[in-house]
Structure 1
Amino acid sequence: MGKKTPDFVSTTNACKLCRPLGAVLAFRGVAGAVPYLHGSQGCATYMRRYIISHFNEPIDIASSSLGEKNAIYGGGANLKQGLKNVTAKYCPALIGIATTCLTETIGDDLNLLLSEYRREFMAPDDSSPLLVRVSTPSYAGSHMEGFHGAVLALVEQLAAPESPGGGDEKAPLNLLPGLVSPADLRLLKEILAQFSLPATILPDFSETLDGPALDDYPLIPAGGTAIAAIARMGSAPLSIEFGRTLPDRLSAAGWLEERHGVPRRRLGLPVGLRETDRFLSLLAELAASGEMAPEQAAARGRLLDAMVDGHKYLSGQRAVVYGEEDLVVGLSSLLAEIGVRPVLCASGGKSGRLAAALDEVLSELLPAGSEPPEVYEDCDFFDIAARARELKPDLLIGHSKGYHLARELGVPLIRVGFPIHDRLGGQRLLHLGYQGGQQLFDRLVNALIARKQDDSPIGYSYM
């Protein structure tokens, strides 16, 4: 597999977003929570812009609003005043506090500052909001590391020791799906209900980042994972965690296994047929009936039928896939299943596990003797564009930041993942399960049919 060997140190059009942005998304998936950035106001404004453009939902991100003076004297006073203001205005159940480049660089001791705040301003009873902190300097990592770091922080700081009688098989499962769409989260909840398996999903922003129209604007939207449910995660019979490339140091399921003895099962994102089969086979094993939910068996059959109907349009096509590492792995698995060859798989992440994860899912799918995809980790769109011009793919699959490259190459861009800021409905895209595979398959086929029609001098009106 190919490997990027950069001869420069600057980044041109990054293939990732900043670390505290990922933490904000994770905290937004907790009931009654307000995300809070310990840093400058500009950081919060930038992140609000990115999140709103994808989800088309309002989002408040509190900030300690540090200025030049605080870069010298520290941001402790601003942090405390900001927490007091948020508590008074929002009455949150939890404030998720993420650091930024500025506060990490000047060396603010967040643990010490929050200890002082609790002693000076928080009520001795339970009326004050919980404070959960996570270190997220943008210069070290991507939005995915910030997301997983915040999930780990929530578990570390809220999950209580196993209660007497813990490990009861009737206790909810833990499901840690990673950064997927609100539509994906709703689908996961439907699937779990079809198997009659109660579960705590962390985080759950299926409603908080994709809610209904309301007469009044709520300061904190309804929905999210209940804090009491997070506290009980140490008593679960099993944790299911999606992410073949997730580092152990950021694994909330790994921490629960180590500290509370909760067994962990790690799977790839259930994108496409085989990866979804692995997930649903596990659910069938855990379900009381021990069988596949009939709704899912029917969805699988429909996906197979679609693959038979549309394979002639996709067979032999070549794709460049980019985005978050685990999404790239899942998408590449789906593409190989339907006859599309991933020629370049790229990510701004740098777990060091992308190439091995791709080899694991593609080894049984690629035809014998075929070339595996080139793999770029810790890359930007300068790297991706330079190689894509040489590879001349038939399509690009990834988020909106690849639009200009797709336009230059004259190939379709299938928009998936985050961020999608040049189309409506990014929060409603399905990626997971047989249903998500069905939608992605249809979009791929139709994009290639449209290109053939557009490029034809006469066009055609029937498949």
Structure 2
Amino acid sequence: MNSPVYKKNKSSATQNTCTLCAPLGASVVFKGVENSMMILHGGQGCATYIRRYIIGTCREPVDIASSSFSETEVIFGGEFSLGKAIDNVIAQYHPEVIGIATTCLAETIGDDINGIIKKYNAKKNTGVHLIPISTPSYKGTHIDGFNAAVYALCDFFAQPGTKENNVGIFPGFLSAADLRHIAEIVRSFKLEPIIVPDYSQTLDGGVWKTYHSIAPGGTGIARLKLLGSVRSAISFVTDQVNDAAGLLHARFGVPAQYLPVPIGVKATDSFVDTLKTISGREPDSVLVQDRARLIDSYIDGHKMVYNKKTILYGDAAFVSAMARFSCEIGLCPVCIATGDRSASLKKLVADIEWPSAQKPHIVEDADFTDILELSRTLNPDLVIGNSKGYQLSCELGVPLIRVGFPIADRIGGERILHTGYKGSQELYDRIVNTIIARSQESSDIGYGTY
């Protein structure tokens, strides 16, 4: 029996979108490149909006430049303004790399960003790498912008070379804590990860003794060039258009491995088994013990989570991983939603063994009005997703378990660990404890039936 697919009312406008804008994703990627800056080609408000979302979750300084369109640029084009923006960024920040992402306005008037950059480079030998990315939000989401930026970096920098002990990792849009933990897992197999992007330090750093105009950290140019000679490229990304691992395979013959985001025992096992094959090594005792503890906790908490109805939402790759994890621990997803338009969520979850004969509703190109309208009929016990779903959880009168991006209404969003056995353990404990706390609220004896 196929999962029912919610049919959106095509005549209705999007209300409280379930996604963010495409240049935001590209901006996050360039925070994961060492000594880089981002320029948005368009209005100043786009940069302000994006900075607000990133800073709101990560609580770190984020500078994003803009070519600052006015009426003049809208009519005559933004070539002059973009050149001036590049000059200013180089003078003030001294970056090695500048990502230049388009906005809806620049795309609508048809500015040739590639041509503008070529003309700029021909006039001025700055030595700074200028990388254009097409990111109109009316055509895609923050995930599309993220994947397009990663692809552009690989296309620009990756070079052939002698294979060493490096592994390319394309994690997708995960937390800074996730990136650190994924690197730890890879290094436990005596492999060296080249993570693109790696904002684990730039968006979750420590206190500085002196001010840095560009936060330290990120994957450097030298390591980006090594992507053409890695032993394998592991991707948790579902985008078939901007497929960075596929690019490395086609251009350099790098083996490409496509895996689900490693959340839960089965998905993390797939990641670990892939690393075993690449390295020829067995997992170390830390991984083995983490896995054993996670399975033991599943047993301990099963009676609390079993058959609890859950609403899931987020980007397609992440929410499909959360759906697998939910079924693995005994939750019963009743609605799985994404705002993505370019990835088929229905295909990503097609092979999941659902715990109930009633399959979950699959909602693509969703907004929170769609999700609320459907969820009112499903009587959920939990909502799992980012902080944009807070109003949804209030309307439904059920707890929100915050995962993904953005987490703007809590401290530590960048430190939420979802991945690996360790991250799955933390996530499982949060889910079980939320259910117990909910039970205590309506219990005269404090501890309910648990």
Q: In the alignment, which of 306, 311, 315 is matched to residue 320 of structure 1?
A: 311
Q: Take 2:146 and 2:306, find their aligned partners in 1: how far apart are those partners? A: 36
* Corresponding residue of 1:143: 142
* Corresponding residue of 1:202: 196
Q: In the alignment, which of 434, 450, 454 is matched to residue 421 of structure 2?
A: 434
Q: In the alignment, which of 253, 275, 279 is matched to residue 287 of structure 1?
A: 279
2:390 touches 2:400 (CA, 8 Å); kept in 1? yes
2:165 touches 2:191 (CA, 8 Å); kept in 1? no
* Corresponding residue of 1:407: 394
Superimposed CA distance per residue, residues 330-375 of structure 1 (whole angstroms, 9 cap, x where no aligned partner):
1111111111011110000023421121122x13xx34x6222110
Q: In the alignment, which of 170, 175, 178 is matched to residue 181 of structure 1?
A: 175
Q: Take 1:209 and 1:352, find their aligned partners in 2: how far apart are those partners? A: 27
Superimposed CA distance per residue, residues 419-458 of structure 1 (whole angstroms, 9 cap, x where no aligned partner):
0111110000001000111011000011011111112244
* Corresponding residue of 1:302: 293
Q: Take 2:55 and 2:268, find their aligned partners in 1: how far apart are those partners? A: 30
Q: 1:242 to 1:174 in 2, by over 3 A?
A: same
Q: Take 2:110 and 2:343, find their aligned partners in 1: how far apart are those partners? A: 28
TM-score (norm 2): 0.97
SS at match of 1:79: helix
* Corresponding residue of 1:27: 30
**CA-CA distance at 1:460 after TM superposition:** 3.0
What pairs up with 1:177-256 in 2 under 5 angstroms?
Answer: 177-243=171-237, 246-256=238-248
* Corresponding residue of 1:86: 89
1:17 touches 1:142 (CA, 8 Å); kept in 2? yes
Q: Take 2:211 and 2:360, find their aligned partners in 1: how far apart are those partners? A: 47
Q: Which amino acid aligns with 1:190?
A: E
Q: Take 1:411 and 1:274, find their aligned partners in 2: how far apart are those partners? A: 28
Q: Take 1:409 and 1:6, find their aligned partners in 2: how far apart are those partners? A: 20
* Corresponding residue of 1:398: 385
2:140 touches 2:342 (CA, 8 Å); kept in 1? no
Q: Take 1:232 and 1:332, find their aligned partners in 2: how far apart are those partners? A: 35
Equivalent residue pairs, number:
447
Counting aligned pairs with the same residue, the percent is 44
Displaced runs of 4+ in structure 1, greater than 4 A? none
1:15 touches 1:381 (CA, 8 Å); kept in 2? yes
Deviates more, 1:215-224 or 1:299-308: 215-224
* Corresponding residue of 2:107: 104
Q: Which amino acid aligns with 2:372?
A: A
Q: Take 2:331 and 2:361, find their aligned partners in 1: how far apart are those partners? A: 15
Q: Take 1:420 and 1:72, find their aligned partners in 2: how far apart are those partners? A: 38
Q: Take 1:351 and 1:196, find their aligned partners in 2: how far apart are those partners? A: 36
Q: Which amino acid aligns with 2:186?
A: L
Superimposed CA distance per residue, residues 118-137 of structure 1 (whole angstroms, 9 cap, x where no aligned partner):
111224xxxx2111110001
Q: Take 1:407 and 1:111, find their aligned partners in 2: how far apart are those partners? A: 46
Query: In the alignment, is residue 389 of structure 1 matched against residue 376 of structure 2?
Result: yes
Q: In the alignment, which of 331, 337, 347 is matched to residue 340 of structure 1?
A: 331
**CA-CA distance at 1:217 after TM superposition:** 2.5
Q: Mark the runs of 5 or more structure 1 residues left unpaired by the alignment.
A: none
**CA-CA distance at 1:78 after TM superposition:** 0.5
2:34 touches 2:219 (CA, 8 Å); kept in 1? yes
1:171 touches 1:235 (CA, 8 Å); kept in 2? no
Q: Which amino acid aligns with 2:72?
A: K
Q: Take 1:254 and 1:85, find their aligned partners in 2: how far apart are those partners? A: 36
Q: In the alignment, which of 344, 348, 367 is matched to residue 353 of structure 1?
A: 344
Q: Take 2:449 and 2:202, find their aligned partners in 1: how far apart are those partners? A: 42
1:4 touches 1:379 (CA, 8 Å); kept in 2? no
Q: Take 1:352 and 1:55, find their aligned partners in 2: how far apart are those partners? A: 26
1:399 touches 1:416 (CA, 8 Å); kept in 2? yes
Query: In the alignment, is residue 266 of structure 1 matched against residue 274 of structure 2?
Result: no
SS at match of 1:248: coil
Q: Take 1:133 and 1:409, find their aligned partners in 2: how far apart are those partners? A: 43
2:22 touches 2:144 (CA, 8 Å); kept in 1? yes
**CA-CA distance at 1:28 after TM superposition:** 0.8
**CA-CA distance at 1:261 after TM superposition:** 1.2
Q: Take 1:462 and 1:9, find their aligned partners in 2: how far apart are those partners? A: 44
Q: Which amino acid aligns with 1:340?
A: L
Q: Take 1:411 and 1:140, find their aligned partners in 2: how far apart are those partners? A: 33
**CA-CA distance at 1:44 after TM superposition:** 0.3
1:240 touches 1:266 (CA, 8 Å); kept in 2? yes
* Corresponding residue of 1:59: 62
* Corresponding residue of 2:78: 75
Q: Take 2:348 and 2:112, find their aligned partners in 1: how far apart are those partners? A: 37
Q: Take 2:172 and 2:256, find their aligned partners in 1: how far apart are those partners? A: 15
1:284 touches 1:293 (CA, 8 Å); kept in 2? no
**CA-CA distance at 1:216 after TM superposition:** 2.7
Q: Take 2:202 and 2:343, find their aligned partners in 1: how far apart are those partners? A: 33
Q: Take 2:215 and 2:124, find their aligned partners in 1: how far apart are those partners? A: 26
Query: In the alignment, is residue 158 of structure 1 matched against residue 157 of structure 2?
Result: yes
**CA-CA distance at 1:461 after TM superposition:** 8.3
